[in-house]
Amino acid sequence: MKQDIILCGVGGQGILSIATVIGWAALDQNLYLKQAEVHGMSQRGGDVQSNLRLSSAPINSDLIPLGSCDLIVSLEPMEALRYLPYLSPTGWIITNSTPFINIPNYPDMEAVNGELNKVKNLINIDVDAIAKEVKSPRSANMVLLGATAAVLNMLEPDKLREGITQVFMRKGQAIVDTNIAAFNAGLEYAQKHTLK
Amino acid sequence: MRTKNLLLGDEALALGALHAGLTGVYAYPGTPSTEITEFIQQHPLAKERNVHSDWCVNEKTAMEAALGVSFSGKRALVCMKHVGINVCADAFVNSGMTGANGGLVVVACDDPSMHSSQNEQDSRFYADFAMIPCFEPSSQQETYEMVREAYDFSERNRIPVLMRLTTRMAHSRAVVETGDVRNENELHFPENERQWVLLPANAKVRNVQLIKDYASFEEQAETMGFNRYIDGADKSMGIIACGIAYNYLMENYPNGCPYPVLKVSQYPLPTAMVRRLAGECKTLLVLEEGQPLIERRLKGFLDTPVEIKGRLDGTLPRTGELTPDCVRVALQLPELEKNAPSQVTVPRPPALCQGCGHRDFYTALNNVIHTYPTARVFSDIGCYTLGWLAPFHAFHTCVEMGASLTMSIGAANSGVHPSVAVIGDSTFTHSGMTGLLDAVNSNANITLCISDNLTTGMTGGQDSAGTGRLESICCGLGVAPEHVRVIIPLPKNYEEMEKVIREEIEYKGVSVIIARRECIQTAKRHAAQNKK
């Protein structure tokens, strides 16, 4: 069993804390894991991505081959589309629906949504709005992780919750609770609105 | 006790070095190498043992300090990005001549595809001509284990060792199982004292010895186990896979590779193993991350009986890092089914942060410079290099650490006016101070602007060597104190900033303008820390 994940977004949005939680849970479950990150110049408001591979068997490449990514998890809708050639024919896109516009030529949202809707397996979710609804406005990335948990077969939601607790514990119980609330809201949304 | 950790390649290397009995790490920050030193700075064992881990002013001072540790019989680690090895090349190449006493491991992190660099140079070439052995791991676990072997090799053979990582190894995380912890060495001095005094008479003797030793380094590369010959039934092709290229090869053969493979992770190149492969196979495919070092050596320029494929004949792309995909093409395997690229996505280049002081400095500088059609601005390496992009288009050159200042001297000598240099505070202390002394000694008509954000920003906010002392450094080097001016880059100060910039451009001689405001990323971090 394996799942290959591309985490993406704009530098500073917080894709690495999603990776950290998944990483903790994978280590706890004795899974094999490789996660290639982007550091340095590209972090300054540019597009960022991380290749995260989970498997029950040893993993060779740190990079995911074209056409074989199982989940594209994006904090930004246009950024989700950037990695389309990597998506497997049976793969999922789980993306935030709110654009992050820091460039003058950002495409028309209708065109972005048009391309996203062509993808067979799509969870398009307004993570910022849901995070606010559950009073966790700074945990939008955990809403996205929750939505991802609906299709992340390699790890049980409970293991991811445990990961959130471990990763955020040093910041205090209140921060853990808001992140768990955000995670639960994302998971619930994905289960209710998208999956049959 | 063995424990499992989720570690970056950089962190696996750092932990391996600590566990091997490290006494000091010496480094200047540079992507993708920075996390090695940062990991050691934060590690409890390093704190308990008081392992030296302060940042150095540049890679040359780092390499030389480490050589001093080795001379004293203890173990040292030097870390840098690939272009850093240019800065310390004098010390690095001559460390092959002195040899090592305590274990000395030099780490160069190469950046093929230039994710965060100005070129794709391959550090294996330096090891080759300095006759220094090189290790190139292919996994995080191997990185951890290889560091200790590299220290042992260094002490057994009395030679420094280069460890070469590339971006995808340095910045990729995997589970690493760690082993036992060894003590530091006791202080002890080299047996052969002559070898450390590189007078020609001594160096000539040592050179002959090093060439002899090099043959033994190659023998060890055949037997230590990092280079492996893995036989395959199909002899129509043999594959040489170096470092992480081996992973991309095996990714394409989940059930095992049908061809014989030579996995290379230690140099000098094990020529007997290569001869065996060439003798058994009709063609050779060379998979190297970086530049075609092995391929070029095998191919030469005369015809060889074995056809050699790789980056030079177009089987693999001539530039850029390897991927499982380009290796797949080279292996002539069928393409996987995939989507076409999206038609609506546009590039999202990195940019200076909103609220960054470099922005306000460039705005004021541009307002003045645009009134001088003959002005040329020479910039340097750091976050502020992003000022070349829209909307600033603020300068004309960016080459390497320190070149802003010295290029502005050459341009001024050639009659360019205004000749303006823009450099960050950390880059200034790394490689700008000596150039400023040149400028003072020839009274060059330049305006040096130090955009001082009180940190090494691009690599994530490490300490900057001259913080709090830039004015006294400039005055100490001989700049007239009345022409060392400090401005605070904020929109409300544009008028005052422009006045100062114009006055110093008009002054005939060396002037320094320090635009000082803390990096907003480190300012945020400090504010959060103070709240606690």
Q: How sure is the predictor about A41, in pLDDT bands with cuts at 50, 70 and 90?
A: low
How far apart are alpha carbons B9 and B314 in whole angstroms? 30
Q: What is the 3-state secondary structure (H, E, C) of chain A?
A: CEEEEEEEEECCCCHHHHHHHHHHHHHHCCCEEEEECCCHHHHCCCEEEEEEEEECCCCCCCCCCCCCEEEEEECCHHHHHHCHHHEEEEEEEEEECCCCCCCCCCCCHHHHHHHHHCCCEEEEECHHHHHHHCCCHHHHHHHHHHHHHCCCCCCCHHHHHHHHHHHHHHHCHHHHHHHHHHHHHHHHHHHHHCCC
Residue A82 near chain B (CB below 8 Å): yes
pTM as predicted: 0.96
Q: Chain B contacts of A38, Cβ < 8 Å?
A: 115, 171
Bridge partners for B377 per DSSP: B420
**pLDDT of B1 above 70:** no
Q: What are phi and psi of B394, to 5 degrees?
A: -90, -5
**pLDDT of A196 above 80:** no
Q: What would the mean pLDDT of B410-415 be, rounded to a whole number?
A: 98
How far apart are alpha carbons A75 and A92 in whole angstroms? 14
**CATH code of the region B228-330:** 3.40.50.920
Are A10 and B348 within 8 A, CB to CB? yes
Question: Three-class SS of residue B456?
Answer: strand
Distance from CA of A155 to the nearest CA of B (A): 17
pLDDT in tens, B374-401: 999 999 999 999 999 989 999 999 999 9
Which homologous superfamily is B3-223 in? Thiamin diphosphate (ThDP)-binding fold, Pyr/PP domains (3.40.50.970)
Q: What would the mean pLDDT of A30-59 be, rounded to a whole number?
A: 88
pLDDT for A44 equals 75
Using a pLDDT cut of 90, give the percent of chain B over it: 95
Q: How sure is the predictor about A194, in pLDDT bands with cuts at 50, 70 and 90?
A: confident
> Do the Cβ atoms of B6 and A23 come closer than 8 Å?
yes
User: Closest Cα partner for B95 from B195, B213, B217, B192?
Assistant: B195
Rg (CA), chain B: 25
pLDDT for A195 equals 59
pLDDT for B2 equals 66
pLDDT in tens, B459-480: 999 999 999 999 999 999 999 9
**Beta-carbon contacts of residue A137 (< 8 Å; ≥ 6 apart):** A128, A131
CA A158 to chain centre: 17
Element (H or E) spanning B110, and its range? strand B104-110
Please report the residues numbered 159 through 218 in chain B whose beta carbons come closer than 8 angstroms to any beta carbon of chain A.
168-169, 171-175
pLDDT in tens, A151-185: 999 999 999 999 999 999 999 999 999 999 999 99
pLDDT in tens, A139-150: 999 999 999 999
Q: What are phi and psi of B264, to 5 degrees?
A: -110, 120
Helix axes B403-413, B433-441, angle to 10 degrees: 20
DSSP per position, B337-401? P-PPPPSS-------PPTT-HHHHHHHHHHHHHTT-TT-EEE--SSGGGGGGSTTT---SB--ST
Report the residue of chain A nearest B114, measured CA to CA. Answer: A41
Q: Are strands B104-110 and B76-81 parallel, antiparallel or unpaired?
A: parallel
Alpha-carbon dihedral A134, A140, A144, A145, rounded to 10 degrees: -90
Alpha-carbon dihedral B112, B118, B119, B125, rounded to 10 degrees: -100
- Please tell me the class of the B357-524 domain: alpha beta
Strand order from edge to edge, sheet including B76-81: B24-27, B76-81, B104-110, B161-166, B134-135, B266-267
> Do the Cβ atoms of A24 and A163 come closer than 8 Å?
yes
Distance from CA of B320 to the nearest CA of A (A): 14
How far apart are alpha carbons A64 and A158 in whole angstroms? 27
Of A27, A105, A106, the CB nearest to B175: A27
Q: Are strands B3-8 and A121-125 parallel, antiparallel or unpaired?
A: unpaired
How far apart are alpha carbons B282 and B62 in whole angstroms? 47
> Could you tell me the CA-to-CA distances from B261 to B124, B235, B238 in Å, in that order?
21, 10, 6
Residue A63 near chain B (CB below 8 Å): yes
How far apart are alpha carbons B389 and B351 in whole angstroms? 8
pLDDT in tens, B43-76: 999 999 999 999 999 999 999 999 999 999 999 9
> Do the Cβ atoms of B328 and B249 come closer than 8 Å?
no
pLDDT for B263 equals 98
pLDDT in tens, B285-343: 999 999 999 999 999 888 888 999 999 999 999 999 999 999 999 999 999 999 999 99
Using a pLDDT cut of 70, give the percent of chain B over it: 99
**pLDDT of A40 above 70:** no
Higher pLDDT, B408 or B5: B408
Mean residue pLDDT across chain B: 96
A–B interface: beta-carbon pairs under 8 A:
149
How far apart are alpha carbons B167 and B114 in whole angstroms? 9
Bridge partners for B166 per DSSP: B110
User: Closest Cα partner for A65 from B390, B439, B328?
Assistant: B328
DSSP category for residue B195: G
pLDDT for B516 equals 98
Helix axes B9-19, B34-42, angle to 10 degrees: 50
Distance from CA of B406 to the nearest CA of A (A): 24
Test the A interface: residue of B116, B343, B344 with most A CBs within 10 Å: B344
ipTM of this predicted complex? 0.94
Q: Are strands B76-81 and B24-27 parallel, antiparallel or unpaired?
A: parallel
Domains in chain A with CATH codes: 2-193 (3.40.920.10)
Q: What would the mean pLDDT of B146-170 be, rounded to a whole number?
A: 98
Distance from CA of B72 to the nearest CA of A (A): 35
DSSP per position, B214-237? HHHHHHHHHHSSSSEEE--S-TTE
> Do the Cβ atoms of A73 and A8 come closer than 8 Å?
yes
Q: Are strands A121-125 and B161-166 parallel, antiparallel or unpaired?
A: unpaired
Report the residue of chain B nearest A114, measured CA to CA. Answer: B344
**pLDDT of B23 above 70:** yes
- Residue with structure tokens 């320090």? B514
Question: Three-class SS of residue B81?
Answer: strand
Domain with CATH 3.40.50.970 in chain B: 3-223, 357-524
pLDDT for B26 equals 98
Q: Chain A contacts of B244, Cβ < 8 Å?
A: 62
Q: What would the mean pLDDT of B86-92 be, rounded to a whole number?
A: 98
Encoded tokens for B135 = 């290790």
Encoded tokens for B339 = 């989507």
Of B116, B251, B460, the CB nearest to A42: B116
Distance from CA of B11 to the nearest CA of A (A): 13
> Do the Cβ atoms of B168 and B244 come closer than 8 Å?
yes
Bridge partners for B447 per DSSP: B420, B511
**pLDDT of A84 above 60:** yes
How far apart are alpha carbons A93 and A90 in whole angstroms? 10
pLDDT in tens, B265-281: 999 999 999 999 999 99
